[in-house]
Amino acid sequence: MPKKAGKKKVASKKTTKRKRRTKRLYFGPETDKAIAEYQSIEDDDTDARAKIYHSTIQPSFSKLVENLIFIHGFAKNHHSYEALKGDCVSFLYENLQKFDASRGTKAFSYFNVVAKNWLIIQSKKKTKNRLRNCSMSNLSKMKSTDKLAIERSNIAPSPDEYVISGENRLILVEMFEKLKKKISSPNEILCLNAIITLFDKIEELDYLNKRAIFVYLREISGLTPKQLSVSMSNIRKHYKDIKKTNVEYYSLFFIDEGEK
């Protein structure tokens, strides 16, 4: 009699539960502990501080700054990403002692804000400097006023230096004479005479800005602020008419060629 085929025993698979790997934070409790330890070490023990900083704190700072730069796009305004990152990490290092854990603030939150604010300030500085500079390769795109300033000097003179130069004084005197013929109102005459007096004594004035000029004109003319404002507005209209019909004044007041 043939033996009956027995049932095959199926090997039971052992189910083993795998432990989930805990993701190590680049700026976690270990960094907090290292910062506290760093701050507790005496200032003269530089070796101990350097060891803690380079082993734990510096890598956390480096990763923090790196994330901020790429998340917010700070690198686009700078020529060197590495230089920007290095400077920011150095700034955080300089502010290590300022962090106070007793206030209840986490070290990550504190240094994240410090680094972000520093990067924002540096980005604004770069943008401001870029707008101030003008590339000589784009001469075709320059305004005529910019070309004129470059032709006359390597550095454009300040407005007050330009106005009070000897040559321009003569042109201004001619302009005042033309304005005298245009105006007839007593207040306008007083206002214009005050302006002429102010230009004659400009070198004797110690403090000069927009508000100071208005005060000087008011004292010289004897007009009230309202009378002075109205008179100046009317004189300004005559000035614009003279400027349009007299080409020689364009070089003095930096008018674009497109306005001629």
Q: Considering the domain boundaries, does residue 236 fall inside one?
A: yes
Q: Residue 66 has which token pair?
A: 């790196």
**Are residues 37 and 103 located together in one domain of the fold?**
yes
Residue 105's pLDDT band (boundaries 50, 70, 90)? confident
pLDDT at 162 over 60: no
**Are residues 34 and 127 located together in one domain of the fold?**
yes
Q: Considering the domain boundaries, does residue 178 fall inside one?
A: yes
Q: Return the pLDDT at 218.
A: 82
- What's at 141, amino acid-wise? K
Q: Return the pLDDT at 136.
A: 58
How many structural domains does the chain have? 2
Query: In terms of Cα–Cα distance, which of 63, 66, 56 is closest to 35?
Result: 56
Residues in the chain: 260
Compute the mean pLDDT over every residue in the chain, rounded to the nearest whole number.
76
Q: Considering the domain boundaries, does residue 125 fall inside one?
A: yes
- State which of 81, 116, 132 marks the end of a domain: 132
Return the percentage of the chain with pLDDT > 90, whole number: 24
**Are residues 35 and 128 located together in one domain of the fold?**
yes
Q: Considering the domain boundaries, does residue 112 fall inside one?
A: yes
Cβ neighbour number for residue 224 with a 10 Å cutoff: 11
Q: Where are the alpha helices (DSSP H) in 11-106?
A: 29-40, 46-52, 58-72, 81-94
* pLDDT (mean) for 85-114: 91
**Are residues 112 and 166 located together in one domain of the fold?**
no
Exposure b/e, 148-186, CB count within 10 A at least 16 = b: ebeeeeeeeeeeeebeeeeebeebbeebeebbeeebeee
Q: Return the pLDDT at 253.
A: 44
- State which of 95, 117, 132 marks the end of a domain: 132
Give residue 116's domain range: 29-132
Q: What is the Cα gyration radius of the chain?
A: 36
**Are residues 40 and 128 located together in one domain of the fold?**
yes
Q: Return the pLDDT at 166.
A: 53
Q: Return the pLDDT at 257.
A: 39
DSSP 12: P
Q: Considering the domain boundaries, does residue 154 fall inside one?
A: no
pLDDT tens column, 202-257: 666 655 566 677 777 888 888 888 888 888 888 888 877 777 666 545 444 433 43
Rounded Cα gap, residues 41 and 50, in angstroms: 11
Comparing 25-34, 40-49, 88-97, 175-184, the range with the smallest average pLDDT is: 175-184
Q: Residue 162 has which token pair?
A: 């330009």
Q: Kindly report the pTM of this predicted structure.
A: 0.45
